Structures are given as structure tokens and as C-alpha cells.
A and B are shown apart, each in its own frame.
Chain A
């Protein structure tokens, strides 16, 4: 795998920095070739506000030709943009830094309106040369796509040898391979995208799904994964209460895990910051390094001879989506594949002579799991090793640890071997390890961890309607939509309660229904003479039901009824 890693927000940027550490000798700012990283990955940092990028020197402004680079999402929007004015007037959202609110629902809403509002799309298309979603479009076309194999330029350059290993690099003029945009287009393109963000923070939590979904809408078959770092328990260092962060986390998780195949990501890798916090006693750089180290077996390009095909990311994507009876969600008799939840388990040891059994055991132990779970609950395991091991030995060791028989292991344990160089490590990615011991026992399972997060989110919703609804100059339309989104009969709160029930029953997956704040019909110009497309009878009935419910909750309507009754 050679991903373009997109770190979103503060946590995403810090973790991305570990992946983009230059492995070449640095000669006082001078360079003969490309920025060399482990596995030749590329990356960029997405942030939502310029002041967040000021207190660091690692990233430069990508659009100024610096690499590694950052992109401020709204840089493409001018202060006097008609698009910005429209969004502010109609929705009360500000697309620029002033008044920018990084709560998950705010950022979610900002992206949704571009899809939901035909009038806004028209304005954006006029202003941004045909781009109907300027925020996401800018990020994708100027930031991410040029690094991938999709980019025409990279396809053109594929045949050229990489600068990083070119001994003749000294005969070229320094930096001749870098274009003015700072991207080293002589290097190989990335074969996948990995978004990294915290779940429960600010920018990352809010942006990760909208951007991933936009990229998917542009590229149906390109492998896209997300790595979410679930916020820790208690109040964080910025003073944000746990309930608020957990609400952001469940919004992001629900959005990421409920878009079916071909609409969103291909898998969500979950890491629990609480686990890392306990292991490293709050040493955040060490926690970031642990995440980077854990993915090294996945990124190492040195495949075993005869296994070169294993780096085919499209094939790996198919394997990850492979349906079992349990990972397709049945809705109205139809099976809908949803992205799997992937839990990484990792262990490293020095020396090259240890047994595979002990390596597997350590990885799947409480110390090796990066998210609480019961490994035997996984429906599949993807195993990446570095070291000299036989494939059948690896499979047998993992099958034994996951209590699978050999026939099951043949189908459900997938092994990807890389060559070691004096040390051994293993990454076991468990798919959908939902379930665990019953509620109330010491938390060592995924079910309880997610249940607690969902409970906190519901509690925060119940206790803080004013904080959620009344902030930051939302328009009445937005407030109504937000109310529906959070508190409506088919809103988030209701869905979270059902999620808890599914968790308790051991059903999988736990998140099954995608919920939007501004869906196509009721967003934007609804009630202002906007177009309503043709709909089926059942959808019309649902709409009427929703609209009635909204009206019944609306103070204005109640006042009218009272007047009429009087």
C-alpha cells in the first residue's frame, strides 16, 4: 500500500508528521531529490483555520510550492465571495475563518448544503468555474489528487525511476525534479488514500466524512480508508467535556460507517486514544509514533518474492469488502454492504528468531490492541508481517488465537508478508470485532466502549439543547434542520438509542443508517419556492410526516394554533 495520507485537523497533522518524517540525510535545507518517507508515502495536512498552522515549522503552504504542505480548506473562497454571502444569509454558516465553528455538525452542515441546495450549486458553479462544491473540490483537485495514480501527470511519470534511489541524482541540478507547485512529480503516484483524524475533536471530526464522500463521488473505485482516533475519556486538555466530544465522535462514526459501498470509505480503522494515553502516560508524540509504527507492516514495500501481487490495492479493497452473512445490513429485504470497522493490533520485537505464535499472541493481547475488543469476535483478520515466516504458520497461529478452525482460517485470515531485516513485527487488522462481555464488566470490549461513547452523546444531547442549537448565528432554517437532525423522530438521538439496542443484542454492524442535516428535498430553498423533484409515494409520506413533526415543535406554529383556538 502506498497511500496519500491526509491528516485532517490538529491530531491528523501531528500523526501525519510521523509518516512524513524525512528518512534522507538533511543537508541544511538543501536537497538533491525528493522528500523520502517510509514506504514512499505522500501526504498533506488539511486545516480549517490559518492560525492553527502558525505554530509549527514542519509543514509549509502547499499552494506556495512547499512540501510537506498544508491546505487551508477555505483558501479558495474569497471574503467577498457570492457563495460565502449566500451560505451566510440562508444558513448562518461562515465559510471563512471568521465565526468558524469546528463542531462536527457545523462542518457537516457546511458541506451538505452544497449537495442539497440547487441554488447554491448554481452560484458556486458560476463562481468556481463549474465546481459545485468549492471547499471539497479545492481540497481534492489542488491537494490530494495530484499525488495519486489518478493524476494524469503521475501516470505520465510512472515509467521514470524514483529519485530517492537514484545514484545519478547528483548529476542533476538540485531540485530539478520539483515543479513550482512543490509536488515532486517524478515520484510514483499513490495507490490509495488514507484520511487520518481524531473522532471527537474539531476540524478532523467534522471534515473527514464530507471530504471522503466527495472524493468517492469523483472516484468510484479508488481505495479510500479512514483512520479515526477516538477521543479519550474525561475532559481533554482544551477543556471540552467528554459528552460534547463523544457527540462529535458518534456523528463522524455514523457518517463514515453508514455510507454503502461506492458512496464512502472502504473501511474505518479505529484507534482508542484512551488506550494510548494509558500506555504512554499522556506523551502525545510517543502516541503518534505508536500509530505510525503500527502501520509500518502495511506500508513496507518489500514484499516476499512471489507475493508482489499483494500490493494490488484494488484487490485488497475487494478482500476487505468481502461479504459475510454478518457484515451486510439487511434493509427491506435488501443486503447493503457497509464499510467495516477495522481494529489494528500490533507488536514489534528485536531479533529475527522469535516464533510467530508468540508474536501473534502479543499483538492480540490487551497490550497490542489499539482499540478495546475481543479478537475472537472478528469476522475476518488481515495480517501483515515483517520477518521470515511461512504463510501457513502465520495463518495457523492467527487462526488458533482467534479460535477458528483451519477451514474458516483459509477463508477468513488473509496474510500479507513482507521481508524483515533483523527485527519482527506484525499488524493484525480485525474486521468488525463487535460484541464482548455483558454490560457492567470491566471494559475490554468494543461493545462497551462504543456503548459508553453513545451514552455520553445521548446524555449531552439531552442536557445541552441550547448549546447545540443556539450558537453562532444559525439561521432559522438551519436551527429547524438541526433540531430535526438531532431530536426528530428519525434523528440522531433516536438512531443512537437504536444503536445501543443493537450493541446490547450483539447485532452487527451497530451504525446502520445515514442521517443528513440538509437532505436534498428539505434543504436550502425548501419553503422558498425551491424545486422539489419527483418522489415515490413512500418518500412523500415520510416527508409530510417529518414536516408535520417539525411544525408541531415550532413555537410559531403552536402560537398560531393557540390563536385559532382562542
Chain B
């Protein structure tokens, strides 16, 4: 198996892990509240109580970042035929030959992954995220994802030539971006372990 596919599996695994840890975190809070509440309550009531506003700036930035994340992921893996020969951008000859091809691809990705990009950031409302951490995420995540996008575009431009360094750089930036996007979940889960 190509190492890129193993790396993709790693990305998806970490994404799934983050979402699972979020469910475990909520489950743990629910268990502790049930133990101490002294009265019955519904899960939706608890979720509503746990909501913590994070700010429109942060919410807007995260919604954008998750959209950008999926675009970067698609560009890294599906721009050229090198990783998935049957599923890639160049198979859409009309789009690929257009001046606006990459934009159309990006827009299409945003539309298709829109539901995920809209719903995933909702998990942040259950975590206490410090202002410094928010500002770090808002600044670094787009930068990393844009680096990944730039590297992917470069590999697309030089195709059929390849440059594994640029691809690896693109992957590393995407991986770091994903880790930062999931940082509140990891730190919230770790905090609850103490």
C-alpha cells in the first residue's frame, strides 16, 4: 500500500479519535452529574446547560477552517492521479481545463462537506477554551492549511513530475492543522482525567 494512503488512514483515525473522545468526555460529565445531581434530567437538557459561548469571531473562524481543512485534504489526495488514479481532479477534464478549475474543485468540496464543516465546530461549545488558545488556532490553522493547499497546487502544476518533499510538507501542514483543530477536545479530555 502506498504510504500516502497509510498517512490518510492516520488522519482519518485521529479525526475519528477526536470525535470519539468528545463523546466519551460528554458521557463522563453526564455520569458525574448523574452521580451528584440528586434529580433526573434529560441528555438534551444537560447538553444545553453545558453550552459555553465561544464568540462569533472564533465560531466563524472555525467554520471556515474546517471547510478549508476538507478542501486541503481533497487537494492533497485527489488533485493528481498519483494516489487515487480513478478518483482525481484530472478525470474531470472540463473542470481541469478551465482557468477556474481549482476554484470549482474547492467550491464543490465546500458544498459537499458543508454539513460536516458546519456541525463539527459545534463540539467546541462544550469546552472551556482560553482566549490565547483561540487566537493561536485562529491564526495558525489557516496558515497551516494554506501551506498544505499551496504544496498541493504546486504538485498539481508540475504534474506529471512529482516532488515528494512538497507532498510531505503539505501533509505535515495538514496534519498539524488537524491536531490544532482538535486541540480543545484533547485538552478537555485530558483535563477531565485529573
- Interface residues, chain A, CB within 8 Å of chain B? 21-27, 30-34, 36, 40, 162-167, 169-170, 302-306, 308, 350-353, 388-392, 419, 421-423
A471 to B191, CA, bound (A): 59
Known contacts A25-B138, A164-B56, A167-B63: A305-B118 contact under CB 8 Å? no
A23 to B133, CA, bound (A): 10
Residues B58 and A305 in contact, CB atoms below 8 Å apart: no
Kindly list chain A residues whose C-beta atoms are within 8 Å of the C-beta of B109. none
Task: Give residues 45-84 of B contacting A (CB, 8 Å).
Answer: 45-46, 49-61, 63-64
* B17-39 interface bits toward A, Cβ cutoff 8 Å, 1 = contact, 0 = none: 00000000000010011011111
State which of B5-13, B121-129, B150-158 sits at the interface with chain A: B121-129
B131 in the interface (beta carbon within 8 A): yes
Residue of B nearest to A302 (CB): B49
A27-B138, A167-B63, A170-B64 given as contacts; is B38 within 8 A of A306 (CB)? yes
B59 contacts A170, CB within 8 Å?
yes
B40 neighbours in A (Cβ, 8 Å): 306
Question: Hey, which chain B residues are within 8 Å of A421, CB to CB?
Answer: 29, 127-128, 188, 191-192
Q: CB distance A165 to B59 under 8 Å? A: yes
Task: Tell me whether A170 and B38 are in contact (CB under 8 A).
Answer: no
Distance from A337 Cβ to chain B, minimum over Cβ atoms (Å): 32
Q: Is the CB of B33 within 8 A of A34?
A: no
Chain B contact patch, size range: 35 or more
Give which listed residue, B37, B38, B56, contacts A169 with CB less than 8 A: B56
B194 at the interface (CB under 8 A from A): yes
With a cutoff of 8 Å between Cβ atoms, the chain B residues found around residue A22 in the complex are 55, 131
A305 engages B194 (CB within 8 Å) = no
B49 contacts A23, CB within 8 Å? no
Whether B41 sits at the interface, judged by CB under 8 Å, is yes
Query: Are A165 and B36 neighbours in the complex by a CB distance under 8 Å?
Result: no
Contacts of A23 in B (CB 8 A): 54-55, 131, 134
| Contact assessment for B39 and A24 in the assembled complex, using a CB-CB cutoff below 8 Å | no
Contact between B131 and A25 (Cβ–Cβ < 8 Å)?
yes
- Nearest CB on B from A189, distance (A): 16
Given A25-B138, A26-B135, A419 and B54 touching (CB < 8 A)? no
**CA A25 – CA B63 in complex, angstroms?**
14
Given A169-B60, A302-B51, 15 other A-B residues pairs in contact with their CB atoms under 8 A: A21-B131, A25-B134, A33-B56, A34-B56, A36-B53, A165-B51, A167-B118, A170-B60, A305-B37, A305-B49, A388-B32, A419-B49, A422-B188, A422-B191, A422-B192
Is there an interface contact between B58 and A25, defined as CB atoms closer than 8 Å? yes
In B159-194, the 8 Å CB interface with A consists of: 188, 191-192, 194
Output the least CB separation between A176 and chain B (Å): 11
A interface secondary structure, majority = loop
Q: Is the CB of B39 within 8 A of A305?
A: yes
Point out the residues of chain B lying under 8 angstroms from A30, CB to CB. Answer: 57
A528-B29 Cα distance, complex, nearest whole Å: 72
A463 to B127, CA, bound (A): 58
Q: Tell me whether A167 and B29 are in contact (CB under 8 A).
A: no
Partner of B35, one of A164, A353, A388, A391: A388
Q: Which residue of B has the minimal Cβ distance to A169?
A: B56
Residues from chain A with a CB closer than 8 A to the CB of B41 are 305-306
> Roughly how many angstroms separate A423 CA and B128 CA in the complex, as a whole number?
11
Task: Name the residue of chain A whose CB is nearest to the CB of B125.
Answer: A165
CA–CA, A423 and B63, complex, Å? 28
CA–CA, A82 to B37, complex, Å?
Answer: 62
Q: What residues of A have a CB within 8 angstroms of the CB of B192 in the complex?
A: 352, 421-422
Q: Are A165 and B64 in contact (CB under 8 A)?
A: no
* B18 CB, min distance to chain A CBs, angstroms: 17
Considering residues B33, B41, B134, which has the most beta carbons from chain A within 10 angstroms of its beta carbon? Answer: B33
Q: Are A305's CB and B33's CB within 8 A?
A: yes
How far, in whole Å, are A302 and B50 apart by their CA atoms in the complex? 6
Closest 4 CB pairs of A and B: A24-B55, A33-B56, A422-B191, A305-B41
Chain B residues with CB under 8 Å of A40's CB are 53
Structural contact, B121 and A167, CB atoms closer than 8 A: yes
Residues of B contacting A389 in the complex (Cβ-Cβ under 8 angstroms): 36
By the criterion CB–CB under 8 Å, are B56 and A163 in contact? yes
Beyond A36-B53, A422-B191, is A167–B122 a contact (Cβ under 8 Å)?
yes
Q: Is the CB of B56 within 8 A of A419?
A: no
Chain A residues, Cβ within 8 Å of B49? 302-305, 308, 419
Partner of A166, one of B37, B59, B134: B59
Instruction: Encode B69-113 as 1/0 by CB contact (under 8 A) with A.
Output: 000000000000000000000000000000000000000000000
Complex: chain B residue closest to A24, CB-CB: B55
Query: With A23-B55, A31-B57, A32-B57 given, is the CB distance from A304 to B33 under 8 Å?
Result: yes
Task: Give the interface centre of A22, A40, A169 by most chain B CB atoms within 10 Å.
Answer: A169
Q: Which of B36, B55, B188 contacts A388 (CB 8 A)?
A: B36
- Contact in complex: B36, A24 (CB < 8 Å): no
- CA A169 – CA B50 in complex, angstroms? 20
Q: Which residues on the B side are within 8 Å of A170 (C-beta)?
A: 56, 59-60, 63-64
